[in-house]
Amino acid sequence: MKITCAITALAVLAVSPAFADCVAPAAPAAIPDGNTATMNDMLAANKAVVDFNSATNTYLACVDKQHDDAIKAAGSDISTEQRDKLDKAQTTAHNAAVDKLNTVAGQFNEQVRAFKAKAAAAAQQQKANAKGKNGKG
């Protein structure tokens, strides 16, 4: 029985803490400043954020699968301590990835608001200039 528990513990520890086969995606290199960005800059940033979201979801699925596989590999002899360690590693990896995604999405959304405000101000200015040229006011 002690040998089975030792082997089970080694199997759990071998795959659990780092979820080694799962690679957290890198966040987009930079989010453009909405006050100076072009439409193409913002569209490229949007694509990068969407791709990052997709890669994060793939990473989270990997972490969940490795967690479940480690629990399954440990079998019915898994101790509460071992299961808690696996659960904690999964939760930590999951929360870190979601926090990173939320930070990137928040930064992007902030710059989208700035970009839209800049575009609205430019449209207002253009409208005012057009009224001035037509002698209407």
Q: What are the sequence ranges of the domains in the chain? A: 1-20+38-90
Instruction: Give one word for 78, left, alpha or beta, with left for phi > 0 and alpha for psi -120 to 50.
Output: beta
81 membership: H or E segment, kind and range? helix 80-134
Predicted pLDDT at 135 = 63
Q: For the chain of 137 residues, list the mean pLDDT of each consecutive stretch of 10.
A: 39 50 95 96 98 98 96 92 96 97 98 95 86 68
**What's the alpha-carbon Rg for the chain, to the nearest Å?**
25
Indicate the burial class of 5 (C-beta count within 10 angstroms; 0-12, 13-18, 19 or more).
middle
User: For residue 32, which of 112, 101, 103, 99 has the smallest C-alpha distance?
Assistant: 112
By the 8 A CB rule, do 28 and 100 touch? no
**pTM for the whole structure:** 0.78
**Which 8-state DSSP code applies to residue 29?**
S
Predicted pLDDT at 18 = 54
